Chains A and B, each alone.
Chain A
Amino acid sequence: MKLIVVLFVLLFLAFALLNLSLSRHRVKLSNRAGSFDVGQQGRFRILGYLLLFITVAFATAMWGVSLGLVYWFATATLTSILVVLLWTYKPKFFSFLNRC
């Protein structure tokens, strides 16, 4: 159970970062939640992909390859949809990433 929470949070962060690393999307946050540094985009992308990689490694280490990948894909689907919904209706939620 704890493992799932860890996986969930990490994947959510990964997708949130990747979402913000898309230039078109960043503008939306800048408009609505104050300033946003252009240089962060690259950092966000690298960090996002890194997190994706880490979570795959984490899941396969914890549950074995087959079950680990099932957990990873399942959680990825759930978290990415969550990111889409939050981004559409509550974009300000992501402004906490502004400080990174």
Chain B
Amino acid sequence: MKARFRQSMSWLHTWTGVVFAWMLYFIFVTGSVGYFENEIDRWMKPEIIVSKGLEDSAITNIATRQLRVHGDNASQWYISFPTSRDPFIEISWLEPENAERKTAKQWHESSLDPVTGALIRNRQTSGGEALYRLHYNLHYVPQLVGYILTSITAMLMLIGLVTGLIIHKKIFVEFFTFRAQKGLRSWLDIHNVFSVLPLPFHLMITYSGLLLLMGITMSPVIDLRYGEGQQNHRQFYAQSQIEQKSQQIIEMLPTELSVQSALADAKRRFKSHKVSYVGVIERNTEKEHIEIWFESKSGVEFASLLEYRAIEDKVILETSLGKAGGAASVYDFLEHLHEGLFADIYLRWIYFLSGLFGAAMVATGLMIWLKKRKAVSSTNKTLTSIIERINIAMILGVPIAIASYFVGNRLLPIDFPSRSAWEMHILFITLGLCILYCGFASKKWLWQRMLCCAALVYGLLPILNALTTEHNIWLSWINNDWLMAGFDLTVLFISICFVAAFWVVRCRQEDISVKAAQ
């Protein structure tokens, strides 16, 4: 009974893993990159001027002046202060729909020159955000299809994880085991290492990923219990997110209430916290209020919020105390864990690495599957060969495609029409080219050539940056522009890793051919 059970679970593990494996790999890689969304964004907008040592009140002055000029009729204003992840001033405003010009409601954002206070004309770019969104909207497909496909993938991943745990007989004994250079044994070992050691991350990220889209995938539940239709779903979502708030009247006259005074008051209350951004919400209506967001210091919350609103002759301060519902709090917690916005630089890197371990887990799983398939004589040789080729194309093509996205950002002419859309097209064209190349080139050299290509394109990035902008590693280093320097050094390191992998594969192949000759 037990052996049979394990065998059926092993079958389930194999197939849930293999069916959507390439998609899963794509999601893992793009999602991991997404943890550095802001840092990537900064690199893709090299025109941004880093702001240092400016007082928050001075920043508010500069920002509100520009907001008055450009977004006076906007219903929402946000000013973000320089933080370690975004060391520059940025304003954004929500322009209402305009019947005359037939424009819909639209968010505008712009970074500011800290010295002159002028808007900076950034190049058009999809930025880090589009790259991060890839891992759940898949870009070209309609949003709903993207959500459903990623959810199915995540569901298969969850089943794969649980069945993997069931079939792994010696999880504690083999906790640290990696027997190198033993063929299939080594692949199994390394697959275990990449799955078991970051298991808390894998379980958390898969389950919370499913939760984030549950309003769509499990919509029949809302339909039956709350009401059908988009209107009802939206209302349900709003109601489930209701927060408990404490209210207090503060000593301030409603006429005195402004972004400046609210900011000063908030800073008095929380001396040790840094303000990350402030917002003016529902401007020019009765419900107008000011939000002050702090960088959070406790728990996994990204930020804590203070709201100031003038009601009749008083100013009321509202502090958020977390979600009202028990289940909603758990959901909230898992959502924050998934997004990792609270993470400091150390945790952020581990998030990124864990995500890559996940990608490696999928990739090694595929390798094992292929190896086992090839060992069975009855398998369809052409089919296996095609899968093997696409496999190489995906495993190395996805990183190459991401790098080409960055190359596109630097090489496309600044005034190129729909430039930001083309950055994304370049990513997918490159991926397509990789698949095409792997489909036809000689299989013997495929790994080596693709690794070579990946090393080249990642090594090219800092050089391109130095050639096409005024930023280079050396200058960023002396100017303490750590985000710029960090990006360039990271891609350089990735390039070195690909070179190392290239050498390993090359030596292996030579060994094999020597043995074959003997």
Contacts and interface: CB of A to CB of B under 8 A. Distances in A.
Check A-B contact in the complex, CB < 8 A: yes
Interface of A: 4, 15, 18-19, 22, 24-25, 64, 66-67, 70-71, 73-78, 80-81, 83-85, 87-89
Given A66-B333, A77-B354, A83 B176 contact: yes
B351 to A, nearest CB: 8
B337 A25 contact: no
B328 interface: no
B347 A25 contact: no
Contacts of A67: 298-300, 342
Nearest to A8: B346
Nearest to B351: A74
Contacts, number: 64
A50 to B, nearest CB: 17
Nearest to B340: A70
Interface in B321-362: 333, 337, 342, 346-347, 350-351, 353-354, 357
Given A78-B350, A84-B178, A88-B179, 8 more contacts: A19-B175, A22-B173, A66-B333, A74-B201, A75-B350, A80-B176, A87-B176, A89-B180
B178 A87 contact: yes
A80 B178 contact: no
B177 to A, nearest CB: 8
B298 A19 contact: no
Indicate the member of A4, A78, A89 with the most B CB atoms within 10 Å: A78
A88 B198 CA distance: 18
B197 interface: yes
A42 B58 CA distance: 63
A19 B201 CA distance: 21
B342 A81 contact: no
Interface residues of B, number: 25
B198 A77 contact: yes
Contacts of A81: 193, 197-198, 357
Given A67-B342, A81-B193, A84-B193, A73 B175 contact: no
B197 A4 contact: no
A73 B201 contact: yes
Contacts of A76: 200
A24 B173 CA distance: 9
A84 B347 contact: no
Given A67-B300, A70-B300, A81-B193, A88 B173 contact: no
Given A24-B173, A74-B347, A64 B178 contact: no
A87 B197 CA distance: 15
A71 B347 contact: yes
A77 B356 CA distance: 13
Nearest to B194: A81
Indicate the member of B180, B200, B201, B333 with the most A CB atoms within 10 Å: B200
Nearest to A25: B176
B273 to A, nearest CB: 15
A5 to B, nearest CB: 10
A76 B357 CA distance: 14
B347 to A, nearest CB: 6
Contact of A22 (B176, B299, B300, B350): B176
Nearest to A83: B176
A80 B299 contact: no
A24 B178 CA distance: 12
Contacts of B346: 4, 74
Contacts of B342: 67
Contacts of A75: 350
Contacts of B179: 88
B342 to A, nearest CB: 7
- Minimum-distance CB pairs A-B, first 4: A74-B350, A73-B200, A19-B176, A77-B198
Indicate the member of B201, B350, B351, B354 with the most A CB atoms within 10 Å: B350
A15 B196 CA distance: 14
Given A67-B298, A77-B350, A84 B337 contact: no
A61 to B, nearest CB: 14
Contacts of A4: 346
Indicate the member of A4, A18, A85, A88 with the most B CB atoms within 10 Å: A88
Contacts of A85: 178
B195 to A, nearest CB: 11
A3 B193 CA distance: 27
B18 to A, nearest CB: 25
A87 B347 CA distance: 25
B67 to A, nearest CB: 35
Contacts of B175: 18-19, 22, 80
Interface string B167-211: 000000101111110000000000001000110110000000000
A66 B176 contact: no
Given A67-B342, A83-B176, A77 B299 contact: no
B354 A84 contact: no
A91 to B, nearest CB: 11
A66 B178 contact: no
A88 B350 contact: no
Contacts of B178: 84-85, 87-88
Contacts of B173: 22, 24
Contact of A78 (B177, B193, B353): B353
Contact of B197 (A24, A71, A80, A88): A80
